[in-house]
Amino acid sequence: MAFNPLRHLYKTAEWRRLRWATLVRDAFTCQRCGRIEGDSSKLVADHRKPHRGDLVLFWDDTNIQCLCKPCHDGAKQREEQAAAYR
Ligand SMILES: [Zn+2]
């Protein structure tokens, strides 16, 4: 996992609120594979564009999408790792 200077923000009530608002907005549907997941603990509020420490990107709800865990942990991370080495 890459170093994330904003990691502590994921523990805040504000992030939990934003995460929940994102899941509701996207109707608990993975924006990558289309899976509808009833168990919200298996859904991730994902930054489309990696924030890389940018607070504006971090809190921008238009930059956040609902992904299921397999999509988030699999494809997405490979993409980001590939992007980091371009
Ligand atoms: Zn998915």
pLDDT tens digit sequence for 22-50: 999 999 999 999 999 999 999 999 999 99
82 CA → ligand 1 middle, Å: 20
Distance, CA of 26 to CA of 64 (rounded, Å): 10
Q: Distance (Å, rounded) from C-alpha 51 to C-alpha 37?
A: 25
Q: Give the start-to-end residue ranges of the domains of the chain.
A: 7-84
pTM of the model: 0.82
pLDDT at 21: 98
Separation of CA 74 and ligand 1 centre (Å): 9
Q: How confident is the model at residue 3 (pLDDT cuts 50, 70, 90)?
A: low
Residue 74: the pLDDT is 86
Centre of ligand 1 from the C-alpha of residue 28, in Å: 11
34 C-alpha to center of ligand 1: Å?
6
Name the more confident of 81 and 46: 46
Measured in Å, residue 31 CA sits from the centre of ligand 1 at 7
Average pLDDT over the chain reads 90
Residue 86, pLDDT > 70, answer no
Q: Using CA atoms of 55, 60, 66, 72 in order, give the dihedral in degrees to the nearest 10.
A: -30
68 CA from centroid of ligand 1 (Å): 4
